[in-house]
Every structure is written in C-alpha cells, then in structure tokens.
Amino acid sequence: MLFIFSKFKGSHWINYSADKRLKILQALENKMAKKVHREPLPVVVHPDINWNCFGMFQVQYGKKVLLINENLLHRHELRFHALETIIHEGRHAYQYMVINGKISPLNFKAKAWKKNYSGYFSSANDSTIYSYQPVERDAQKFTIKMLKKLAYKYRYDEDFAYTLKANIDRYNQAELDARKEYGLFYKHKINKKIENKKDQWWH
C-alpha cells in the first residue's frame, strides 16, 4: 500500500470504513516489519470490547499476533494512537526476534531485553516498573523517534500533536514515577526486581 502515512490524514481517514482502516494498519505493520527484516504479524482486533489497552504483542503456543483495541478503528480522533500502537507493539515483536536469535556478548541492550523478558512486569503487577522496564522504555523511545520523523507531514494536525505529546509525557512521567517510588537508586532497584521475577509472562 503506497503512501501509507498519508492515509492517516484526517481528510482521508474519515472516509474509510473500519475494515479499510484495519487493512491500513496491517499495511503499516508489514512496512515496519520489512524495515527490520522480521516477519509481519497479523493485526487482529481484540475480542473484548471493554479491553482497556490500545494494543498488545502476544505470543501463544508459538503463534505471534498484534492485538488492537476496536476503538482505534471507530474513533476518528484516535487514528494516530492507532499508528503509534502498531509502531510500539511492532517494536516488541522486533525485541522478541532479537532475543530469540544469537545475541552478541557485547549487545548489552539485547541482553537487558532478554533478562526483562523472563522477568516482565505487567501494569497489573506494578504500574511503575511496567512503564520503566527496559523493553517498554525501548518501545516508547522508538515510537517517539518515529513520530518525530512524521511530525512535519502532520504539522497542521492537532490530533497528531496531541498523540506525540502524550507519548513524550508518558515517557518522561515513567522516569519521574520510578524516581519518586524507588528513590535515588531507582534504576538499580527496578533491575533487581526484574532479575528476581521469573514468571516468563509476556505482554
């Protein structure tokens, strides 16, 4: 699908059906996957209409899927949250690919991801650690970087400006919350908690 990012502009998106919007999100996932040489994941609407997340990368019985909230397809003002959700969850799929391959002893980022994968904190476990753990920080940072690259394209769009600001605010707030809850040595304390958690649960 050519010019995929132009389709998120309000004057275009408003004319698309929910099915068409889902196809656009799938095309975006395909594009992002190709860029980092990973297999594209099927983008699937979460069956629970009351689900309170925008999206989730999930692996069950070896099958990988990118789940999205149905509201992303129906609420026009959430179109850039749909875009950032595909980018963010696709980054988790990239992390998963990296840690299941051969990791160089000098690839400290990948080693941190692998350790985090085996001691992952969901937001239900601990919302502060959830937002500050390595795999989430990396996905947040990557998403912000991608959105900033698109900022000129959407420079007149208030919904985009709101979405970018929301991502940056969330990223900054995660560090403030971690520092407030765990004190001066918050990074060390959070890493220690991740090391001690071995439940092999992934979100």
What are the pLDDT digits (tens) for 27-66? 999 999 999 999 999 999 999 989 999 999 999 888 999 9
Residue 183 has pLDDT above 50, yes or no: yes
Residue 200 has pLDDT above 80, yes or no: no
Q: Give residue 49's pLDDT.
A: 87
Amino acid at residue number 140: Q
The 10s digit of each residue's pLDDT in 89-135 is 999 999 999 999 999 999 999 999 999 999 999 999 999 999 999 99
Mean per-residue pLDDT, 61-89: 97
Mean per-residue pLDDT, 74-80: 97
User: Which residues are CB-contacts of 162 (< 8 A; sequence separation ≥ 6)?
Assistant: 80
Q: Give residue 62's pLDDT.
A: 86
Residues 143/147/150/151 CA torsion (nearest 10 deg)? -170
Percent of the chain with pLDDT over 90: 92
Longest dimension (CA), the chain: 51
Contact indicator for 17, 75 with CB cutoff of 8 Å: no
Q: Give residue 79's pLDDT.
A: 98
Q: Give the predicted TM-score (pTM) of the model.
A: 0.93
Percent of the chain with pLDDT over 70: 96
Residue 17 has pLDDT above 60, yes or no: yes
Distance CA 4, CA 25 (A): 9
